[in-house]
Structure 1
Amino acid sequence: ALFDSANPTHVDAQTRYEAIVALGQGGDPRLEPPANNWVWIPRGTALIGAQSEDPDQPNYDEFAFANEKPVFEVYSAAFEVGKYPVTVQEYARFVSDRGYQKPELWDPEGWEWRSKNALSAPRHWDEQFRFPNCPVVHLGWYEARAYCHWLTQHDDEKQYRLPTEAEWEYMARRSQKSYFRYVFGNLLPTELNEQMNRDFSGRENLAPVGLFPLDTSIDGVMDINGNTWEWVQDAGIRNYQAGLYPASKIYQRSSSYRYRRGGGWHDIATVHRTASRSCVLATSHYDDTGFRVVRSHKPVRIKGRLPGQVYTTSLPEVFAQYYGKNVSKSEIDACLAQYSHRFTPTITSDLVQLLFPKEAFELESFPDRPLPALKKASKSKFEFNLLYQDTRIKLAVEEKLGAGAEPAEYQTHAFDLLNVVACLLVTECWADHAIWQELTDNDLDALTFMVLDRYDPERQVRLLEIGNHVNECALTGFLSVFEKMTLRDLVAYQVFAGTVWWLDRGISLPEQFPSLGQMQIDDRGTFENEVLNRACKLIFFFDDNGELVWDLGLIQRLLRLNAHLHITGVISTQVIADNANLHTLNKCLEHPIYAGLRSSNRFELFEENCPRSAIDPLFCSPQLQQRIKSADVAFIKGVANFEMMQPLPINSYHAFVVHSSDSQICTGLKKGSGVFVRIPCGMQGYVYMSRSLRELYPGLRKS
């Protein structure tokens, strides 16, 4: 109740202060792990700065200082920010971990400065330690940076840093319909009372975090206007420039000065305005200057790979510039036209309609799918998938340009591709919203693939070469064990065969075959009884190259064991990333080991022109839908197909390894778990974010 912003005045400030100070003495539970003091800041745009010249222009403020103009606009990707400035209690963990003795955490200039001054903690550390839930102060910009590096070092997924000036102000202003001097309103400085810790507010010293509940942004970030100045990333001294800029843009310059935002506990009220800026030496130590941390997801690896170049922007950030717009096809086409020189054939808004049949765009609402649209899944999932596509796009640029291009060329190619994808995502396809609002990660992958294929016509040739090479490597290991394996062993190895993709593509691996992991769900016995002991029509869905050789071996073994079994293999005619396709499958079938399969009249291929890496039953061809209905059993490879291909009108067996966070959510199993599970006709193996496969499995077995 002491921190209740909805009812902040029921306890007077002095009583709150004494209670919160006492709370800090025993270790403030708000600040102890695993307390989640991170606030999600959604993507969007905001006007930054203030001006005192024209009341009819944006962000007019009679108290604005000269360095707050001109007013300009920024767009920002979503990020997380600390609910409070970093506290003594939190910073003490960095000090205890000998953060001041680890040069790898410090900028070179910062380490030189720290060594010269023989620092092992912030100044006045013993005195500060008496008030653990107060913001840590008496530290310079380099110390704040080292703390961020330390956090990044201890987190496998997130990266931490100081916010830029623009991000700091965007965080404070986000969703404000008009200009506010302070996060809590457009009050005059003379009207302030107990909204924040400032000069003449009665405190006359640093206050514990969260003491002033009104000093809270719409998203829940506290202590923005007052108590402490907060170091930000930007170097100074720098004047604003009119225009539209990414909020994350860092203005680098050879300067010993850095900016602070927010205002300290003994400053006057006009300095605490959200637009107010202060620029001081980076090595300055003040009793009212601390810092706040932002974090975002680290760049996402694809099959263990990251781009080799350093890029100045990302897809989440570029998309933020378009976000909130539902743009007509004609407007999208006009936007795309400026990038037409990059693509063969030219890209238009018609590209998004290749993902769905025409009938889908005539529906009043989009049909539900087992794996929900990224927007509906969670607030961070869409951002993560944009980062995934960002990596994919930049890797494609580097593959096309090779290693010898100028740095600026990588930048311009990537920038153009990012804008094309972002532009396509806001194409208006239904009456009230844009296409991105209905895309699953499977759809988003497909959209990116289609853009990249038009950007680099040679890309598919390279993918085929890689796919054939990996299949050759996998065959080497497969041939050494295939005839010795029982059917159950073959199914188990086949479940884990996808691990071939994690090995180096450029090395010939004479004994390359998957190491057998642990099967957490195992319906192999049920599968044998259902498929081998009767006349049966089985439809088989392939997944990636590499494991393709095991799939074909399994099919050949099944046909050998049941003379009344007919198998239809569903294969895509399109070359999509690492997926098996008609070209790589036919190349595999040329090997003598598959001679029996080639000559069998009980094995046939069904060719599906599928733009996705995983087949979506709602939007596959009518012919494939009919093939599924006419089969007795489906054998489905890959976790992406498990997530998408439910429910089906026939019994289905899914074979995959749990890997991504989504697959862990859907299955309730740990990363690396092997799964071979029977999903009965008409049933689902999971309900996203509600019931996992592990929870539903007892009921599935009874069915």
Structure 2
Amino acid sequence: MHARLDPTPLAAAYMRVRALSEALAAHLEPEDQCIQSMPDASPTKWHLAHTSWFFETFVLAGPGYARYREGWDFLFNSYYQTVGSMHARAQRGLLSRPTVAEILAYRRAVDEQVLHSLPHMSPAKRGLIELGLHHEQQHQELILTDIKHALSLNPLGPAYRKPGPLGQAIAQLPALRWVEDPGGLVELGRAGDADGFGFDNEGPRHKRWLEPFAIASRLVSCGEYLAFMADDGYTRPQLWLSEGWDAVQREQWRAPGYWRAPEQAGEPWRVFTLEGVKPLDPSAPVCHLSYFEADAFARWRDARLPSEAEWEHVAGALEVNGNLLPSSAPELADAPLHPTSSSSASADPSGLAQLFGDVWEWTASPYQPYPGYRPPEGAIGEYNGKFMCNQLVLRGGSCATPRDHLRATYRNFFHAPTRWQFSGLRLAKDLQG
């Protein structure tokens, strides 16, 4: 059994992760925690309850166990068909009851039982606790992205939290440079538990052949994306995949998500953030892009998006460091909760900056199983494997991703039109062999 699953460190991790979820919700009023702005998003209180349902269902439930409340397993199951039916996802915002206070009491009851039972649990059960903690960290990110979407629809533009102190103006964005890689036969993915925690979709370790390529030294900035917009990027069909062009016409996209157009000529663009509406920083990474927009920008720049294999190959040996969500509640006050300019981030000796944090980076790779992949047995097998269809992989984490949740092998995935996540892009291009 890995030392991280020993009772003392696992209990400490459990309390830290659970406390962070509640700290994220503490900025919100009960009314905020009930709203659902679209089917892809969920109310904050549902996230708090669902993550507790996970521990109750997969760690505590068993012979002789009585559910905390009758019917709550139906309300707070997400998509685990093998453990029972569930409330319709698009109707979670209609659940005024149970209240926020009742859900917080539910969390305390689950926490008490988990911590009491943890020292006596089998290694397999402790492994499920660890999985549940990383599952909850995914929902911590969703708490932020979902409430940002909801608040953005309010004409008053309310902020999730009060604005922090203003930073110094960025003098100049570092020039984008190309970092070349000879490619060749590389190994990717997790080798197993010796690599630390990882989701099942991150393995098994396997070989890939990469042709010579170059990858951009930093993320694409808002200023560079403004140039794409000024060059009629949204009205030139030759830059777009067919399905992307259809989305542009249907949704009337003319800018990234949360951007606010100038009200009068000569005024700057603004952007809705978790701290309310702010002037757009041209040096900050562009975010809230769909895959289609990222791909169109890359075509406009005579480049392309990297494959996930290329991304992991260059990131694999680097330390996970960057503009990420802190992993504990006391550090939250200093977290930007928004992408920041690469001018304030030092590049790795490899010449690459912002590989981790700021924005999830769209890759050109479909979300598919690695060679030899097999989903786990039982309901936990529904966690990742059944979504391996019609989605694209994103890498690197964002400003809303907990720091100790991330690693180079982590595979995020969304449908191509998705824009409410902190998603941006890094360019890549082919080299002559």
The answer to which structure, 1 or 2, has the higher relative contact order (CA under 8 A, 6+ apart) is 2
Calculate the TM-score normalised by the size of structure 1.
0.31
Calculate the TM-score normalised by the size of structure 2.
0.50
